[in-house]
Structure formats: C-alpha cells, structure tokens
Amino acid sequence: MKKIQFFIITKSVGIYLNVLSYVNLEVAKNKAYELFSQPRKGRIKKEKMPKTLQNVTYETFECQNEKFQTYIWHGNDEIILLVHGWESNASRWKNYYFI
C-alpha cells in the first residue's frame, strides 16, 4: 500500500510541475528548486550508519549561500566525483570499492 501511495504522490508532483511549466515556467522552476534542493529533515543515526560512510572524512562547504556535504574516501591520487539525487544518500555507492 505504501508503494502505491508513494507512486501516486510522486507522479502527482511531477504532473503538477510539468503542467505548471506550460503556464509559468519561472514559477515551475522555482517550485522545483524549492522542493528538490532540500532533502527532508532527518539524519542517519551513528548506530545505523552504513559501512560505506564509517571510514570517511566529512567536509561541508558553501557556494552561493547553499551548503554542500562531502564525503572523502582516501586512496590514491585519482579523484572521482560521485553525485546522488534527491532523497538519496552517499550509501548509494556501497557497491563500489573504496580504499
């Protein structure tokens, strides 16, 4: 039942933003930015921290008044940028091998 509700809500938001973009693109853009630039409240508790995030260096930086959380896995000199989407988190990369 929850999956069906989530699907309906998600699709409704998408349809709303798409229709709004035909009526007023600027308003649609601002609403989408408001909605998708801020994750919902809540944090992962230390005891539930995925293994992927247990041995990392955390850094937060600010750009144009927006804060960005970064996680750094130390390894060799190669740098790879991994970016996840809205309502996701860095544990998404757990299937990758970080040294």
Q: What is the pLDDT of residue 69?
A: 81
Q: Where are the domains of the chain?
A: 1-37, 41-99
pLDDT, one tens digit for every residue, the chain (99 residues): 788 888 888 899 999 999 999 999 999 999 998 887 776 666 677 777 777 777 788 888 898 888 888 888 887 788 887 777 766 777 767 777 655
Q: How many degrees, rounded to 5, is the angle at CA 5 between CA 45 and CA 39?
A: 40
Chain CA centroid to CA 13, Å:
17
pLDDT at 95: 72
**The pLDDT of residue 10:** 85
Q: pLDDT at position 97, please?
A: 61
3-state secondary structure 39-64: CCCCCCCHHHCCHHHCCCEEEEEEEC
